[in-house]
Amino acid sequence: MMRDGGPRLLVPPNATTMITALAGGVGAAKLLEGLVRVMPSEYLSVIVNTSDDIQMFGLHISPDVDIVTYTLAGLVNPVTGWGLVNDTFYGLDSLVRFYDSERWFNLGDRDLATHIYRTDQLRQGKTPTEITRHICELLGVTARVLPVTDAFVPTTIVTDQGAMHFQEYLIRYRAQPVVQEIRFENIEDAVATPETIDAIVSAEAIVICPSNPLISIGPILTVPGVRKLLEQASAPKIAISPIIKGQALKGPADRMLAQTGSPATALGVAQIYANLIDGFIIDQQDADLKEEIEKLGLKVFVTNTVMSGATEKYALALFTMQAIKELQVAKLSRV
């Protein structure tokens, strides 16, 4: 589905490359929006974090899966990057009254329909993968949106103010508590879905989106077997830094990195991914970090990574495709 402006290449640089992206929420969705403009969306698989899933009001909410799906469907709220465009919040007002709870997690009325449908289907024995596939079909999303696992593996953030669900830390407490530990509950017993495994094994290129490496990409890599599969994958692997000049464009990645002992810089992110990737894209404002990151054995690409509009999303996606091509050529010349 084509949406808000932005050019589409007539001859994309590597149009028939099967790309598998690892994604969190808003930052990833912006890049994916660009990617489906420079390649056929049918060739794109997106393995999505599910550790920000939360159960609330008896409903199962899967924010990153929904953010990616709504964005690719052209339905996401363009101001927030999550939820549905033009949504209203009357249902939520009633729910917080019934549950005598604070209103801190904003579930829109139309968004609630997704959560009711997902919860009902789960109760009927469908898996998150099947439900996501059906929602994508209904919304006209032709990329494969794949929850990394069908297990419920929510993130607990242990802070100086106690342990809490990631969404509580992020939204209710505005990421103010100091992070001491990050736990993905039950993840050691989770299994990657066959669709996730297939998307990694059959990928011709793997892209780690500019998402929080700790709580968005971290859980994907922690699902047993996934990191190993990625390490063994022969496809070129590239990541895009979500940190620019020591700051996360969206969310608390910078403070979470600092509080858990990693430098809150593009170099810190590169160190986290170093054994996994071949290439790393950093923002032009971080060009001075290029040499240091190259010492990790990575090919470093420098461009504008701030996706402020359709043109920037398109440009970064195109740049990523060209970087993949370079990595592919470099791999071939080594054979």
Residue numbers at the binding site for ligand FO1 (CB under 6 A) = 24-26, 52, 61, 63-64, 66-67, 82-83, 105-107, 111, 167, 170-171, 216
Residue 26 or 298: the one with the smaller Cβ distance to ligand FO1 is 26
Least separation, in Å, of the C-beta of 201 and ligand FO1? 26
Nearer to ligand FO1, 19 or 26 (CB): 26
Query: For residue 261, how many other CB atoms are within 10 A of its CB?
Result: 7
Residue number of the CB atom closest to ligand FO1? 25
Q: What 8-state DSSP symbol labels residue 84?
A: B
Query: In the complex, what is the shortest distance from the CB of residue 65 to ligand FO1, in angstroms, rounded to a whole number?
Result: 8
- Strand blocks (E) in 49-97: 54-56, 59-61
**Distance of closest approach, residue 220 Cβ to ligand FO1, in angstroms:** 12
Q: How far is CA 280 from CA 92, 98, 238, 264, in A?
A: 41, 48, 5, 16
Between residues 210 and 268, which has the closer beta carbon with respect to ligand FO1? 210
Cα angle, residue 247 at apex, residues 106 and 148 outer, rounded to 5°: 55
- Taking CB atoms within 8 Å and a gap of at least 24, the contacts of 289-297 are 289/265, 292/267, 293/266, 293/267, 296/270, 296/271
Residue 138: is it exposed, middle or buried by C-beta count within 10 angstroms (0-12/13-18/19+)?
A: exposed
Shortest separation between residue 95's beta carbon and ligand FO1, angstroms: 13
Q: Do 211 and 25 meet the contact criterion of CB atoms below 8 Å apart?
A: yes
Closer residue to ligand FO1 in complex, CB, 129/216: 216
Contacts of residue 299, defined as CB under 8 A and 6 or more positions apart, other chains included, come to: 278, 279, 280, 323, 326, 327, 330
Q: Which is nearer to ligand FO1, 67 or 226 (CB)?
A: 67
> Least distance from C-beta 110 to ligand FO1, angstroms?
11
**Residue at 85: amino acid letter:** V
Q: Report in angstroms the alpha-carbon separations of 32 from 28, 39, 218.
A: 6, 10, 19
Is the Cβ of residue 63 or residue 147 nearer to ligand FO1 in the bound state? 63
Distance of CA 143 to the CA centre of its chain: 14
Closer to ligand FO1 at the Cβ: 64 or 283? 64
